[in-house]
Amino acid sequence: MRLEQLLALSSPIYRLELAMVGRLFAQDPQLYADIIMSSENNLALIKRYYQRFGEAIGLLEQGDKQAFIDSFRKV
């Protein structure tokens, strides 16, 4: 999906979040590489995020709305 399409479908709060992410990516990539790679724990955290995101996608693919809501509330 292109950014223009995403913005057209997004809520005001989501547009604000996208702006914050945009500012993040406008920063020096060397700085973020240094920050992320400064600790082995960061890799574990990224893997956990990836796993949780995959679980959420699975619930969406299954159409299990209640399980998605329950999972969302745990966060």
Q: pLDDT tens-digit profile of 8-21?
A: 888 888 888 888 88
- Return the pLDDT at 9: 82
Residue numbers of the domain that contains 15: 1-28
- Return the pLDDT at 7: 80
Q: Note whether 43 and 15 are same-domain residues.
A: no
In this structure, the number of other CB atoms found within 10 A of the CB of residue 64 comes to 13
**Predicted TM-score (pTM) of this structure:** 0.59
| Number of domains present in the structure of the chain | 2
Q: Note whether 23 and 43 are same-domain residues.
A: no
Distance CA 30, CA 28 (A): 5
Q: Let me know if residue 34 belongs to a domain.
A: no
Q: Note whether 24 and 43 are same-domain residues.
A: no
- Return the pLDDT at 72: 86
For 11, the 3-state DSSP assignment is coil
Distance CA 49, CA 54 (A): 9
- Return the pLDDT at 6: 77
Distance CA 20, CA 52 (A): 22
Q: Let me know if residue 13 belongs to a domain.
A: yes
pLDDT band at 32 (very low <50, low <70, confident <90, very high): confident
Max distance between CA atoms of the chain, in angstroms, equals: 41
